[in-house]
Structure 1
Amino acid sequence: MNYEKIIEEEVNKKLKELRLKNSLELLEKLNIYKELKEALKNMLLKRLNGDKEFYKISIDKKPDAVVAFSGGVDSSTSTIIAKQIFNVKAVSCYSEYIMTEEMKKNVKKLVKKIGVDLEFIDINLKEVYEDTIKGRYHPCGRCHKIVESAVMNYAKENNVEFVIFGDLLAFGYLALYKDNEIFRFNLPSFFALTKNEERTILKNNGIELKMSYGCPLLKAYHKNNRGYKFTIQRILREVRGRVVDEEEGFKNIIDILELL
């Protein structure tokens, strides 16, 4: 009997339960549309009871929401879940430094398959790219802030109350909170999802994504500056947070070291 595996599974189970209960407590304190709150509560309770289709709840009056859509596992899963209870529009931030034309085509196909509208918004990453190539900093943090800001501004300009991100690690009060007049919803962390659980949801909806770790900007950073240590630290953070298992964490590290 593999006691180490049994203990690991039990720890993961308890941790997920704790995070879901935290989300329930958080939800009760928020002043949001009553039917939406009830739907989110029922989703959390179904997930606590082990229902793999916990998200299959619909409501009559759906509020508008924008999903920050990259075409990856996190944002695709977030969109599938969100469309059950929101009128969803996918917003994809475009820059030649983070998205090739082929990637752009794939995003369009994916959104069409999920069944929501899509809009691309241009972002300026020229300075980030130039500084990245020179090795002044790791690009992910600055790029992420620019993308977040662009999506939040889009929501504000279009009077959309909810913005949904695919963050897996924003636990506790950071999973759903009000930023000025907009609710910022880190959906996978709110439902304490792991990457493997997200893939199961995608598969059950006829979607299977296979891609290497990192965008073109990150790969350019590694090619010109090595800097693998900082990316590996980001990967290990997800492994320590138990949203990515050790096997996938190892595979992601191998992906970025292939440039050596």
Structure 2
Amino acid sequence: MVDKNQFSVSVREIRDSLDYERGVAPLISKVIETEDRLHVLVPDRAEKSLLLGPGGRVVAKLSEVFGTPITVHSNCELLLRERQLRLTFQRIGKLLSDSSPNQKPILQQLRLDIEKEMEYPRRQIDMRKEDTGTIVAVAFSGGVDSGAALYWATRQTRSVISLTADLGCQVMGNPEKRAIRYISENLEISQYFIDASSNLEKIFEGAIKEKLHPCGRCHRTLMESIRNSARDLGVDLLLTGELLPTGRQSIELMDDLMIIHLPATLSLSKYRTRKISSCLGMKHKQERFGCRLLSRCHQKGWKMIGPSIYRVLRETEAGILSTGQSLQQIKNILGPSLECLKKRNRAKNDC
């Protein structure tokens, strides 16, 4: 068992060996061991920055010394997350009395999971298999966030329906569809692809010709298709993989349809959704930011690039993305534009 004094000594030794003199040695509030890593708690962002070190070098060395991955949390981050979870907990309490017999067991389970998550990293959801008998639809795009929602749903009930909006090959290709079918078959759940391609032409035209960022209109289109399909199937409970609408905004009621943005409801980070979705056998290769259409749009200049980077910054501010993950996503967004710029420069030089 690693105690905070032992850990603090190692921090000082590593900082000395790397000639890091900036600031004072970071203050370690607590060290918590879990089955797959050490969680180290420090008072605030500045202490966290010093513990990580430039480029994460200090914490990387610490990971080598203790022989396990290390995650650093500031107490400020954990307090904010706890506040978000309390708001969600209160929202569920108000919804329970008017919820349908199909919705109630899922809301009750969420309350139990939130109580555990409020003590994270000491406690967290354990994903034990249950069968509440509830019928749940999940908006599954094939990404890690909706994958986490799908896996959580399959741990609560056997009656899960996976709904995927198909906006055409400009957005989702056959390899992505095959991967979605494969996951659904392995889980032995129903999978529906909803044809929403008739709406793509306007979105495509607005994006390519008018330089209107497509994500907002595309999201509205696909969610409308999925909501309508859930209702057509007689389901009054829909889970999504949205991360940003935390607290009271994480659960919506649209007439008789309850929409639970599962990762936001549990205030999960991108790291946590990746870890949960890996239970589905999803391979976490370097993810493209957005769809194929968006990659093309990024070549059109700042009017397209700006809103995408703003999205990354919002998720970073919300604690969903680490700074390293944010940097990688921004590189991903800028990649096509930088490549186009290189080609133009080469063409000019050839002239």
Match in the other structure for 1:218: 294
1:204, distance to aligned residue in structure 2 (A): 4.8
Match in the other structure for 1:37: 107
CA RMSD across the alignment: 1.9
Match in the other structure for 1:110: 183
1:235, distance to aligned residue in structure 2 (A): 0.9
CA contact (8 A) 2:113 2:124 kept: no
Instruction: Tell me, in whole angstroms, the C-alpha distance in 2 between the residues paired with 1:200 and 1:127.
Output: 36
Structure 2 counterpart of 1:49, from 119, 133, 148: 119
1:139, distance to aligned residue in structure 2 (A): 0.4
Structure 2 counterpart of 1:158, from 233, 241, 250: 233
1:69 paired with 2:134, answer: no
1:225, distance to aligned residue in structure 2 (A): 4.4
CA contact (8 A) 2:135 2:237 kept: yes
Matching residue's letter, 2:329: N
Instruction: Tell me, in whole angstroms, the C-alpha distance in 1 between the residues paired with 2:74 and 2:188.
Output: 35
Query: Structure with the greater relative contact order (CA < 8 A, sep ≥ 6): 1 or 2?
Result: 1
Instruction: Tell me, in whole angstroms, the C-alpha distance in 1 between the residues paired with 2:331 and 2:312.
Output: 11
1:24 paired with 2:100, answer: no
Among all aligned residue pairs of Structure 1 and Structure 2, give the percentage whose two residues are the same amino acid: 25
Gap runs ≥5 in structure 1: none
Match in the other structure for 1:248: 325
CA contact (8 A) 1:72 1:209 kept: no
- The structure having more radius of gyration, on CA atoms, is 2
**TM-score for the superposition, normalised by structure 2:** 0.69
1:115, distance to aligned residue in structure 2 (A): 4.2
1:93 paired with 2:157, answer: no
Matching residue's letter, 2:76: V
1:71, distance to aligned residue in structure 2 (A): 0.5
Instruction: Tell me, in whole angstroms, the C-alpha distance in 1 between the residues paired with 2:278 and 2:211.
Output: 40
SS in 1 for 2:252: strand
Instruction: Tell me, in whole angstroms, the C-alpha distance in 2 between the residues paired with 1:44 and 1:83.
Output: 18
CA contact (8 A) 2:86 2:247 kept: no
Gap runs ≥5 in structure 2: 1-24, 28-45, 50-72, 339-351
CA contact (8 A) 2:85 2:247 kept: no
Which segments of structure 1 move beyond 6 Å, counting only runs of 4 or more? none
What does 1:190-229 align with in structure 2 at a 5 Å threshold? 190-204=265-279, 206-210=281-285, 211-226=287-302, 227-229=304-306
CA contact (8 A) 2:207 2:297 kept: yes
Instruction: Indicate the larger mover: 74-83 or 222-231.
Output: 222-231
1:137, distance to aligned residue in structure 2 (A): 0.6
What does 1:133-172 align with in structure 2 at a 5 Å threshold? 133-172=208-247
Instruction: Tell me, in whole angstroms, the C-alpha distance in 1 between the residues paired with 2:274 and 2:237.
Output: 24
Change (3 A) 1:43 1:57: farther
Instruction: Tell me, in whole angstroms, the C-alpha distance in 2 between the residues paired with 1:225 and 1:127.
Output: 20
